[in-house]
């Protein structure tokens, strides 16, 4: 190896394996030895393979970060196995200590491997191409040509001058090594190969660091908004919020947003993809710094507001329900977001009436946008649009458990402390309501109304129920840097893999009336086109030497 060779770990194929020796006794010796092991190519391969294997469980078991409901489901399906697997972080694989250990080791190895290479490469970038080997014929890609020349010495010098210019224009760094009567030029190119390799590896470190650091400054919140409602970007107004360690309480930009309407189109009933919904668009009015503008949030087209990105994650129906007590006073009135259960938007909702009744009331309701009765008598929804909306509900009475201070999901009715008044297992039928209808609550408790939200003059049900959207508000300034480093890695990779690093030598030895020209190439790393490059050099050189504008010489290949 010469000083302008790229530096490689000792077990690299072009490496110098004398370095792999038994450690000298002593603590420092062992440390050195350990470090060399960690930064060897072998370790890098093993760690990469271990990383690949370690990533597999995360694709088999549901992960809390990607699919929290899946985890809950898995837990209830496998109650015995769950605690064991959970203790092994099988549901948080990518945040687990063992997964982190693997990639951290890999990156320590990477940095340890790359830093000496950077130092070395910086030197190599300034180094001159190495001395011309005494016997070029030993190299695999070697050509020889003899030319007649009247003044052999002058012609030999001239031909090397020409070769030097030729190589230089081909992008080689050149250096003359004339010795006595032999003239030679040594050339090297492809420094970008190593530069690209280093850029690639460093860019990977960049990606990891930016992802790690960026997460501490990022936040993601979820919010459900019903048509007509306004969302204000404050911590209080979010249903849930994940924020990085360094996101302060007042980090959120002050803006608010009203959901004016939500558009969706359905494939016609009976068509190939009957009922498939698409072209979702949440049409909003955004108020920011005192002025209002209209915008829309669509799938694949998040809305940018004040550095936040707002995404449309889901949608559904929010039936408006009014509950009156026995005296006819309104004790509850709200548009309640119902959670969709299937693609035809059979939806499940919960209504909690906390005050104004003798006891607290809980109502569990199903909503079918296009209700169809099955043979069993149960209902199902046959289409996602509001073709035949129907609400069925069961009433519970008792303690909703809200006052204890433990947080309760608005979407779950904890029936433990409640008595069921209607529906299965009771002798009162479930209540069924179409938009605009009112029904009596059991035991003379009052009434419940399913409000019809259709504009005046509407002829069908298609606008009778409000819709809601679930939005995700995401702020992450680091994402763009992740992209920058990823693209840098890609660019570095292409340089490292496609730029050939090679050396070329041209040597001229004069003798009586002829000169012997030798050409040789040496690859540094993968270089499948080296042979062709040497051939091109030979023909190019001959053409330049024969250029009529220069003194005429003739050529004959040596046998």
Which distant-in-sequence residues (6+ apart) come within 8 Å of 288 by Cβ?
Answer: 253, 254, 255, 305, 306
Q: Which pair of structure tokens corresponds to residue 521?
A: 């190439």
Q: Which does 197 bind (CB under 5 to 8 A by kind): ligand HEM, another protein, none?
A: ligand HEM
Query: Is residue 94 at the binding interface for another protein, with CB under 8 A as the rule?
Result: yes
Closest distance of CB 300 from another protein, Å: 5
**Three-state SS for 54?**
helix
**Which is closer to ligand HEM, CB of 41 or CB of 488?**
41
Helices 191-216 and 479-498, axial angle in degrees (round to 10): 160
**CB of 303 within 8 A of CB of 290?**
no
List Cα–Cα distances, 491 to 53, 197, 283, 441, 487, in angstroms. Answer: 27, 10, 40, 69, 6
Task: Indicate whether 493 belongs to the interface with another protein (CB under 8 A).
Answer: yes
Binding letters toward another protein, positions 147-186, x by CB under 8 A: ----------------------------------------
Q: How many residues bind ligand HEM (CB under 6 A)?
A: 19
Q: Tell me: does residue 102 bind ligand HEM (CB under 6 A).
A: no
- Give the H/E segment covering residue 471: strand 466-475
Instruction: Show the site string, 212-251: x = touches another protein by CB under 8 A, - = not.
Output: --------x-------------------------------
- For ligand HEM, which residue of 57, 470, 525, 537 counts as binding (CB under 6 A)? 525
Q: Which does 301 bind (CB under 5 to 8 A by kind): ligand HEM, another protein, none?
A: another protein
Site residues (CB under 8 A) for another protein, limited to 179-198: none
The one among 239, 279, 460, 536 contacting another protein by CB under 8 A: 279
Is position 70 an interface residue for another protein (rule: CB under 8 A)?
Answer: yes
d(CA 481, CA 259): 32
SS3 64: coil
505 binds ligand HEM (CB under 6 A): no
Collapse the DSSP code of 1 into the 3-class scheme (helix H, G, I; strand E, B; otherwise coil) and give the result.
coil
The residue range among 38-46, 302-310, 390-398, 508-516 that interacts with ligand HEM, by the rule CB under 6 A, is 38-46
Q: How far is the CB of 199 from ligand HEM (least distance, A)?
A: 9
Q: Interface with ligand HEM by CB under 6 A: which range of 37-45, 164-172, 237-245, 377-385? A: 37-45
Burial of 553 (0-12, 13-18, 19+ CB in 10 A): middle
Residue 200, interface with ligand HEM (CB under 6 A)?
yes
Instruction: Show contacts with another protein in window 420-479 (CB under 8 A).
Output: 472, 474, 479
DSSP codes joined into one string, 67-116: -HHHHHHHHHH-TTHHHHHHHTTTTSGGGSHHHHHHHHHHHHHHHHHHHH
The whole-angstrom separation of Cα 242 and Cα 64 is 13
Binding-site string for ligand HEM from residue 42 to residue 81, where x marks contact by CB under 6 A and - marks none: --x-------------------------------------
Q: Which of 71, 93, 106, 465 binds ligand HEM (CB under 6 A)?
A: 106
Determine if 12 is a binding residue for ligand HEM (CB under 6 A).
yes
> Residue 496, interface with ligand HEM (CB under 6 A)?
yes
Structure tokens that stand for 411 in this block: 């979407």
Element (H or E) spanning 533, and its range? Answer: helix 530-546
Separation between Cα atoms, residue 439 and residue 392, nearest integer Å: 11
Q: Which stretch binds another protein (CB under 8 A): 120-128, 136-144, 251-259, 298-306?
A: 298-306
Asked whether position 431 contacts ligand HEM by CB under 6 A, the answer is no
Name the DSSP class of 136.
G
Q: How far is the CB of 52 from ligand HEM (least distance, A)?
A: 11
User: By C-beta, is 201 or 466 nearer to ligand HEM?
Assistant: 201
Determine the size of the site formed for another protein (CB under 8 A). Answer: 61
231: exposed, middle or buried (Cβ count in 10 Å: 0-12, 13-18, 19+)? buried
Q: Is 316 in the site for ligand HEM (CB under 6 A)?
A: no
Please identify, using beta-carbon distances, which residue of 15 and 442 lies nearer to another protein.
15
Contacts of 198 (CB under 8 A, 6+ apart): 114, 117, 118, 121, 492
Q: Under the criterion CB under 8 A, does residue 300 sit at the interface with another protein?
A: yes
> CB of residue 278 vs another protein: minimum separation in angstroms?
5
Q: Please, which residues have CB within 8 angstroms of residue 335's CB and are 6 or more apart in sequence?
A: 226, 227, 228, 229, 318, 319, 320, 321, 466, 468
Which one, 77 or 427, has the nearer CB to another protein? 77
Give the residue with the Cβ less far from another protein, 122 or 480: 480
Least CB distance from residue 14 to another protein, whole Å?
8
What's phi and psi for 367, nearest 5 deg?
-125, 130
Question: What are the residues whose beta carbons fall under 8 Å from the beta carbon of 259, sequence distance 6 or more?
Answer: 225, 226, 227, 228, 229, 230, 231, 282, 283, 284, 468, 469
| Most distant CA pair in the chain, distance | 126
Residue 464 backbone dihedrals phi, psi, to 5 degrees? -80, -20
With CB under 5 to 8 Å by kind, the binding choice for 17 among ligand HEM, another protein, none is: another protein
DSSP symbol at 425: T
In the complex, which residues of this chain contact ligand HEM (CB under 6 A)?
Answer: 8-9, 12, 39-41, 44, 106, 109-110, 113, 197, 200-201, 204, 493, 496-497, 525
């Amino acid at each position: 190896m010469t000083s302008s060779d790229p530096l490689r770990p000792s077990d690299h194929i072009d490496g110098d394996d004398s370095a792999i020796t038994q450690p000298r006794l002593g603590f420092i010796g062992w440390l050195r030895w350990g470090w060399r092991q960690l930064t060897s190519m072998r370790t890098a391969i093993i760690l990469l393979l271990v990383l690949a294997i370690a990533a597999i469980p995360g694709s088999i078991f549901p992960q809390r970060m990607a699919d929290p409901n899946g985890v809950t489901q898995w837990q209830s399906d496998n109650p015995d196995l769950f605690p064991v697997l959970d203790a092994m972080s099988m549901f948080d694989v990518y945040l687990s200590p063992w997964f982190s250990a693997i990639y951290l080791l890999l990156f320590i190895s990477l940095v340890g491997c790359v830093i000496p290479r950077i130092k070395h490469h910086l030197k190599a970038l300034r180094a001159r191409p190495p001395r011309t080997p005494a016997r070029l014929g030993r190299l695999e890609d070697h050509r020889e040509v003899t030319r007649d020349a009247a003044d052999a010495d002058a012609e030999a010098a001239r031909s090397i001058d020409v070769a030097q210019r030729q190589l230089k224009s081909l992008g080689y760094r050149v250096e003359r090594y004339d010795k006595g009567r032999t003239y030679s030029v040594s050339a090297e190119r492809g420094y970008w190969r190593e530069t690209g390799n280093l850029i690639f590896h460093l860019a990977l470190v960049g990606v990891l660091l930016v992802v790690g650091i960026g997460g501490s400054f990022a936040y993601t919140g979820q919010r459900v908004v019903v048509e007509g409602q306004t969302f204000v970007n404050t911590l209080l107004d979010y249903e849930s919020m994940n924020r990085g360690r360094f996101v302060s309480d007042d980090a959120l930009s002050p803006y608010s947003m009203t959901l004016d309407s939500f558009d969706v189109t359905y494939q016609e009933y009976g068509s190939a993809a009957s009922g498939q919904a698409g072209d979702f668009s949440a049409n909003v009015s955004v108020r920011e710094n005192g002025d209002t503008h209209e915008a829309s949030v669509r799938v694949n087209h998040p809305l940018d507001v004040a550095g936040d990105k707002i995404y449309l994650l889901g949608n559904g129906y929010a039936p408006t329900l009014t509950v009156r007590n026995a005296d006819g006073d309104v004790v509850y009135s709200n548009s309640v977001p119902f959670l969709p259960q299937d693609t035809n938007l059979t939806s499940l909702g919960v209504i909690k009436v906390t005050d104004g009744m003798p006891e607290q009331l809980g109502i569990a309701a199903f909503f079918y946008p296009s209700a169809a009765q099955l043979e069993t008598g149960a209902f199902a929804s046959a289409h996602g649009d509001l073709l035949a909306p129907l609400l069925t509900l069961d009433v519970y009475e008792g303690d909703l458990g809200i006052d204890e201070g433990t947080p309760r999901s608005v979407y779950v009715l904890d029936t433990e402390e409640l008595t069921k008044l209607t529906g299965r297992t009771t002798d009162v039928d479930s209540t069924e309501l179409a938009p605009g209808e009112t029904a009596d609550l059991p035991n003379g408790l009052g009434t419940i109304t399913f409000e019809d939200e259709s504009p005046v003059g509407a002829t069908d049900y298609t606008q009778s129920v409000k819709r809601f959207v679930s939005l995700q508000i995401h702020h992450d300034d680091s994402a763009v840097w992740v992209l920058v480093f990823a693209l840098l890695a890609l660019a570095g990779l292409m340089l490292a893999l496609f730029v050939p690093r090679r050396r070329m030598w041209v040597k001229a030895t004069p003798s009586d009336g002829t000169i012997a020209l030798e050409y040789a190439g040496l690859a540094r790393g993968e270089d499948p086109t080296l042979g062709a490059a040497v051939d091109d050099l030979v023909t190019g050189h001959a053409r330049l030497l024969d250029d009529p504008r220069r003194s005429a010489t003739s050529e004959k290949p040596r046998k």
